[in-house]
């Protein structure tokens, strides 16, 4: 945890619906001005966590505080925790400007004050000239920005985002990631971003919270989670790494990131494993090569195009996959 | 055009003729000078309209029908919306039973409904009064209104209302600022449709109307006396009224599913 002031705390929070436990136990602190991503597979409790923060669900046990105030029983409309919805949930019967003004109107901000604030945000989001458009006349990216403007117009301390980019095309996702990180830096407010996408979380967040089955599996900076996953669940979820069972001290599992594996024909010095080449996959600037050990375990190594060419790898050929001892991270349990 | 296209067009045309020819006939004879509906036709006249609408009881009946239709439509729409919203928003035990009950009235034979209403409203001292007919027609209209509102609410993004709360709207405020504006086309079309149902309804109205006759009840009374082309004239006006309401309702339904 950094030295920043804490804005949100979850203390022993549990959420249960009849027989189904959505969040088992959650202890989490979120700092002021922090960009936190909550990530995990579907059904891990990440969206429930966000909804509890917005007051759309109340915890079965435990306490949630925002700015030091216990929020458990504060209804959604008395909180200042705007949410950007996965579906965006823009009001189809209102035009762009009316959508943005909605939050101000509900808070009783007079008309003459609402309008300039809405227009300012629309301009800031690059939507000048679209004020009177209907929502169905906008592109996906424009709707996204209307949703952001609508949430930010009340100048909240914290913005909640629930998979806001999941409906966009790949190139727009990258652009919106840039827009969001820039916005968060400029405003200096807390962003709590829920996603199942590792690339989105790692690209934007200061800290990533990985959840699995209603519990926090690991909290850390993207780099730490990638290099030093705490357990097998996190390592597998993060991907692009190799888990070696029982190679650590006292038979613990170790993990080596794919880009820290060197592929050679001859047995190298230091730890190495022999495996058969399976296939290759272009991942932007590098190539991810897939191998299989005689025991049938899949291994991955990230190489450059030149390296792959020099190896002359064909499916079925055997290689040594080696790594520097310091590149290996020993996992708990 | 292929033969199958031609045939299917002819079939559709024939179907519409089959449905609308009887009504069309009555419209034609309402402007015909002959006393009996026979061909060849006599000359064009508005005489039957003039005589029909010079009778004060015709005006009273139209007045009654109008009051009843507007009140019953308003009540049906409110009830229908509230029921549909309950279904949309809440999950509860016996919900399917609740919905089945709410949609039940149209399946009850009208004669039974009329008799039951007569007995029930009689106990309440409302039989033979306009409020009595309004109650009966509301019972009949509400399920239609509910079905229309339900269709509209199903098109609503489930996050829309929560988004309003999230932006600081209290549950009541969210209802008036988001749910109702979203449902407005359905509310209007439900109002038009239930007004048309009430305006046309004869059997139940005949049981409960007593001296405060609505238009369909009055038509029967005139018919029982003798066959009179005035009926055609009155019928044409009734037909136009309810067709306008139904078309209005349909237009709203079509427009909202296009949006």
User: What CATH number should be reported for the domain holding residue B78?
Assistant: 1.10.3720.10
Rounded (to 5) percent helix, strand, coil in chain A:
30, 30, 35
**pLDDT average, residue stretch A295-309:** 89
A120, pLDDT greater than 80: yes
H/E stretch holding B210 reads none
Q: How confident is the model at residue A2, as a pLDDT?
A: 47
**pLDDT average, residue stretch A83-97:** 95
A196, pLDDT greater than 80: yes
Q: How far apart are CA A313 and CA A297, in angstroms?
A: 19
Asked whether the beta carbons of A167 and A86 are under 8 A apart, the reply is yes
- Is B157–A106 a contact, with Cβ atoms under 8 angstroms apart? no
The CATH architecture to which A245-324 belongs is Beta Barrel (2.40)
Does residue B142 sit within a domain? yes
**pLDDT average, residue stretch B139-146:** 95
Q: Are strands A286-292 and A241-244 parallel, antiparallel or unpaired?
A: unpaired
Peptide bond into A188 cis (omega under 30): no
Q: How far apart are CA A180 and CA A151, in angstroms?
A: 13
Closest CA relative to residue A240, chosen from A264, A261, A211: A261
**pLDDT average, residue stretch A57-63:** 95
Closest CA relative to residue A261, chosen from A315, A319, A202, A330: A319
Full strand arrangement of the beta sheet holding A35-39? A69-70, A61-66, A6-17, A20-31, A215-220, A207-212, A35-39, A190-195, A158-162, A83-84
Tell me which chain B residues have a C-beta less than 8 angstroms from the C-beta of A136.
259
Task: Give the number of residues written for chain A.
Answer: 333
Q: Flag the least confident range among A82-86, A104-108, A205-209, B255-259.
A: B255-259
Strands (E), chain A: 6-17, 20-31, 35-39, 61-66, 69-70, 83-84, 158-162, 190-195, 207-212, 215-220, 241-244, 254-257, 262-264, 272-283, 286-292, 298-303, 318-322, 329-330
* A318 three-state secondary structure: strand
B102, pLDDT greater than 50: yes
**Which percentage of chain A shows pLDDT scores above 90?**
68
Minimum CA–CA partner of A93 in chain B: B182
Smallest CA–CA distance, residue B257 to chain A, in Å, is 13
**pLDDT average, residue stretch A79-99:** 95
Strand partners, A6: A31
Tell me which chain A residues have a C-beta less than 8 angstroms from the C-beta of B174.
77
Beta carbons within 10 angstroms of residue B227's beta carbon: 12
A1, pLDDT greater than 80: no
**pLDDT average, residue stretch B241-248:** 90
- Is A85–B259 a contact, with Cβ atoms under 8 angstroms apart? no
Residue with tokens 């002819």: B10
Tokens, residue A283: 């991942």
- Side-chain-side CA neighbours of residue A167 (13 Å): 14
Tell me which chain A residues have a C-beta less than 8 angstroms from the C-beta of B165.
55-56, 75-77
**pLDDT average, residue stretch B118-142:** 93
B258, pLDDT greater than 70: no
Q: How far apart are CA B159 and CA B172, in angstroms?
A: 16
Selecting from A85, A93, A107 the residue whose C-beta is nearest the C-beta of B163 gives A85
Could you read off the pLDDT of A270-281 as tens digits, one per residue? 889 999 999 988
> Is residue B4 left, alpha or beta, with left meaning phi > 0 and alpha meaning psi from -120 to 50?
alpha
Q: How far apart are CA A105 and CA A113, in angstroms?
A: 10
**pLDDT average, residue stretch A94-110:** 96
| Assembly ipTM | 0.86
Model confidence at A333, pLDDT cuts 50, 70, 90, reads low
Q: How far apart are CA A289 and CA A258, in angstroms?
A: 9
Selecting from A77, A87, A94 the residue whose C-beta is nearest the C-beta of B157 gives A87
**pLDDT average, residue stretch A39-67:** 94
Does residue B115 sit within a domain? yes
Tell me which chain B residues have a C-beta less than 8 angstroms from the C-beta of A106.
164, 167-169, 173, 177
Please give the residue range of the domain that contains residue B134: 56-258
Domain parsing of chain A, residue ranges: 6-227, 245-324
> What are the DSSP calls for A117-178, one per residue?
HHHHHHHHTT-TT-TT-BGGGS-HHHHHHHHHHHHHTT--SEEEEESTTTTS-HHHHHHHHH
**Which percentage of chain B shows pLDDT scores above 90?**
63
Q: How confident is the model at residue B143, as a pLDDT?
A: 96
How is domain A6-227 classified at the CATH fold level? Answer: Rossmann fold (3.40.50)
**pLDDT average, residue stretch B150-174:** 95
Could you read off the pLDDT of A131-144 as tens digits, one per residue? 999 999 999 899 99
Q: Among the ranges A236-240, B84-88, B243-247, which has the highest mean pLDDT value?
A: B84-88
Output the CA–CA distances (angstroms, integers) from residue A279 to A187, A302, A306, in the order listed.
45, 12, 16
Asked whether the beta carbons of A182 and A122 are under 8 A apart, the reply is no
Strand partners, A64: A10
Closest CA relative to residue B135, chosen from B220, B209, B66: B209
Selecting from B157, B166, B170 the residue whose C-beta is nearest the C-beta of A83 gives B166
**pLDDT average, residue stretch B187-208:** 92
- Is A102–B162 a contact, with Cβ atoms under 8 angstroms apart? no
Q: How confident is the model at residue A326, as a pLDDT?
A: 86
Q: Are strands A35-39 and A190-195 parallel, antiparallel or unpaired?
A: parallel
Greater confidence (B227 vs A252) lies with A252
Asked whether the beta carbons of A241 and A256 are under 8 A apart, the reply is yes
* B46 three-state secondary structure: coil
Selecting from A91, A92, A107 the residue whose C-beta is nearest the C-beta of B168 gives A107
Write the CB contacts of B259 (distance below 8 Å, at least 6 apart in sequence).
A92, A136
Count of domains in chain B?
1
Q: How far apart are CA A79 and CA B85, in angstroms?
A: 25
- Is A77–B173 a contact, with Cβ atoms under 8 angstroms apart? yes
Asked whether the beta carbons of A65 and A7 are under 8 A apart, the reply is no
- Is A87–B159 a contact, with Cβ atoms under 8 angstroms apart? yes
Closest CA relative to residue B200, chosen from B88, B90, B69, B95: B69
Tell me which chain B residues have a C-beta less than 8 angstroms from the C-beta of A86.
159
Selecting from A76, A91, A93 the residue whose C-beta is nearest the C-beta of B166 gives A76
Q: How confident is the model at residue B250, as a pLDDT?
A: 85
Give me the phi and psi of A92, to 5 degrees please: -70, -20
Closest CA relative to residue B40, chosen from B28, B52, B57, B24: B28
Tell me which chain B residues have a C-beta less than 8 angstroms from the C-beta of A85.
159, 163
Smallest CA–CA distance, residue B181 to chain A, in Å, is 7
Burial level of A246, CB count in 10 A (0-12/13-18/19+)? exposed
DSSP 8-class letter at B65? H
Tell me which chain A residues have a C-beta less than 8 angstroms from the C-beta of B166.
54, 56, 76-77, 81-83
Smallest CA–CA distance, residue A182 to chain B, in Å, is 23
H/E stretch holding A107 reads none
Model confidence at B18, pLDDT cuts 50, 70, 90, reads very high
Give me the phi and psi of A255, to 5 degrees please: -130, 135
């Amino acid at each position: 945890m950094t030295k920043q002031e804490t804005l949100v705390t979850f203390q022993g929070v549990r959420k249960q619906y009849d027989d189904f436990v959505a969040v088992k136990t959650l202890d989490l602190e979120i700092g002021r001005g922090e960009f936190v991503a909550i990530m995990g597979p579907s059904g891990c409790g990440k969206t429930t966590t966000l909804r509890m923060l917005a007051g759309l669900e109340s915890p079965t046990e435990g306490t949630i505080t925002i700015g030091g105030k216990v929020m458990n029983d504060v209804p959604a409309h008395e909180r200042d925790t705007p949410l950007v919805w996965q579906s965006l949930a823009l009001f189809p019967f209102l035009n762009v400007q009316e959508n943005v003004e909605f939050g101000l109107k509900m808070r009783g901000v007079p008309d003459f004050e609402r309008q300039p604030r809405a227009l300012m945000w629309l301009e800031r989001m690059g939507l000048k000239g679209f004020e009177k458009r209907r929502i169905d006349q906008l592109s996906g990216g424009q709707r996204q920005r209307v949703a952001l403007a609508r949430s930010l117009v009340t100048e909240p301390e914290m913005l909640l985002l629930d998979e806001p980019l999941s409906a966009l095309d790949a190139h727009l996702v990258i652009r919106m990631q840039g827009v969001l990180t820039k916005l968060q830096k400029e405003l200096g407010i807390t962003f709590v971003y829920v996603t199942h996408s590792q690339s989105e979380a790692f690209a934007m967040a200061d800290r990533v919270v990985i959840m699995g089955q209603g519990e926090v599996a690991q909290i850390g900076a993207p780099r730490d989670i990638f290099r030093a996953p705490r357990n097998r669940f996190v390592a597998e979820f993060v991907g692009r790494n190799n888990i070696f069972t029982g190679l650590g001290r006292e038979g613990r599992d170790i993990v080596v990131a794919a880009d820290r594996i060197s592929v050679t024909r001859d047995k190298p010095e230091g730890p190495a494993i022999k495996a058969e080449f399976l296939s290759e996959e272009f991942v932007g600037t590098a190539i991810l090569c897939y191998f299989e050990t005689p025991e049938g375990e899949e291994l991955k190594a990230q190489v450059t195009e030149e390296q792959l060419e020099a190896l002359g790898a064909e499916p079925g050929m055997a290689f040594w996959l080696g790594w520097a001892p310091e590149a290996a991270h020993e996992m708990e349990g | 055009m292929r033969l199958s296209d031609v045939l299917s067009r002819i079939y559709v045309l024939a179907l519409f003729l089959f449905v609308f020819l009887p009504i069309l006939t009555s419209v034609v004879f309402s402007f015909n000078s002959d006393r009996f509906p026979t061909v060849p036709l006599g000359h064009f006249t508005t005489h039957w309209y003039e005589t029909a609408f010079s009778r004060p009881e015709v005006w009273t009946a139209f007045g009654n029908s109008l009051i009843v239709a507007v009140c019953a439509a308003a009540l049906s729409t409110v009830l229908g919306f509230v029921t549909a919203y309950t279904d949309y928003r809440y999950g509860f035990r016996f919900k399917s039973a609740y919905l089945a009950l709410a949609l039940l009235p149209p399946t009850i034979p009208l004669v039974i409904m009329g008799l039951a209403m007569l007995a029930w409203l009689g106990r309440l001292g409302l039989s033979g009064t306009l409020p009595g007919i309004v109650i009966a027609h509301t019972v009949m209209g509400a399920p239609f209104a509910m079905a229309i509102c339900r269709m509209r609410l199903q098109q609503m993004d489930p996050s829309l209302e929560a988004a309003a709360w999230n932006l600081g709207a209290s549950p009541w405020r969210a209802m008036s600022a988001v749910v109702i504006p979203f449902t407005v086309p359905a509310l209007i079309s439900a109002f038009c449709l239930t007004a048309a149902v009430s305006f046309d309804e004869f059997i139940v109205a005949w049981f409960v109307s007593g001296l405060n006759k609505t238009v369909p009840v009055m038509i029967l009374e005139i018919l029982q006396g003798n066959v009179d082309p005035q009926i055609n004239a009155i019928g044409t006006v009734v037909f136009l009224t309810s067709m306008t309401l139904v078309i209005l309702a349909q237009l709203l339904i079509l427009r909202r599913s296009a949006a």
